[in-house]
Amino acid sequence: MRFRYLIALSAIGLAACAKEPTGARREATTPQTEAALATGFATFADSTAQHNGAPMPRLLDLFFHELRAHPNAQAQALVDESRELADSGRAARDAGDMDAARRYFIAAHEKLFDAVAIVLPNAYERTGAVVDTILARITERLGDREAPRIRRVLDVIAQVRADAQAAAATDEGHALALNLRALAMLQRLRDHLEHPGGQGLPGDQGQGPPPGGRP
């Protein structure tokens, strides 16, 4: 009788083991925990970006300062084209044509970043390095937590960064635009949890004209 009882216990134990997933198990996270993690990661990303002078407003401030100090006709022409595109975007937005406005605003950003790449030739490499560093550190800190929404956002950002690397050889201005989009997403990671890379969220360069004063 005791022998049969032990066999039954063994069978139950084996069945339970069979249901356990193989490999390391990730630590579960609640939506609230995941949102708090995303906020912490975003704070780290913003601090790192600011320390390296990488966010778009700071990069453009440096660009316009350099353009004032060392005038460059080619870069200035691109800045003027960017302003014209931005004005067209505002006009389209005021007329209610948001699709046209988005196209103009995106083109205005990229035209301006073409100018930035001329005046600050290391801008693409520097911003790319900052994005890569932040991505690596956040991934390390995330560890084995499930955090599926955060991981979806990080996957989107990693793809944006890969697209930037692919574009760099032929269109450094576009590559810089992609780096800055990825960086803005990292700085406001929590905003992207529901719709990673969605329109109207930080990093969307079709949402409005590029920042920056006049040189």
Average pLDDT score over the chain:
88
**Checking phi first, is residue 210 left (phi over 0); if not, alpha (psi -120 to 50) or beta?**
beta
Cα distance between residue 150 and residue 28, in whole Å = 13
Asked, for residue 183, whether it belongs to a domain, the answer is: yes
Q: Cα separation of 40 and 47, whole Å?
A: 11
Structural domain boundaries, residue 170: 28-192
- Would 50 be classed as within a structural domain? yes
pLDDT tens digits for 29-75? 688 899 999 999 999 999 999 999 888 999 999 999 999 999 999 99
pLDDT at residue 27 in the model: 56
Over residues 111-129, mean pLDDT: 97
pLDDT band, residue 15 (cuts 50/70/90): very low
pLDDT digits (tens, 9 = 90+) for 64-83: 999 999 999 999 999 999 99
Three-class SS string for 63-84? HHHHHHHCCCHHHHHHHHHHHH
pLDDT digits (tens, 9 = 90+) for 133-167: 999 999 999 999 989 999 999 999 999 999 999 99
Is 159 within the bounds of a domain? yes
Number of domains in the chain: 1
Contact 186, 135 (CB under 8 A): yes
In a domain, 128, yes or no: yes
Q: Is residue 197 part of a domain?
A: no
Whether residue 43 lies inside any domain: the answer is yes
Average pLDDT (117-130) is 96
Write the DSSP symbol of residue 27: B
Q: Does 213 map to a domain?
A: no
Establish if 14 belongs to a structural domain.
Answer: no
Whether the CB-CB separation of 147 and 29 falls below 8 Å is answered with yes
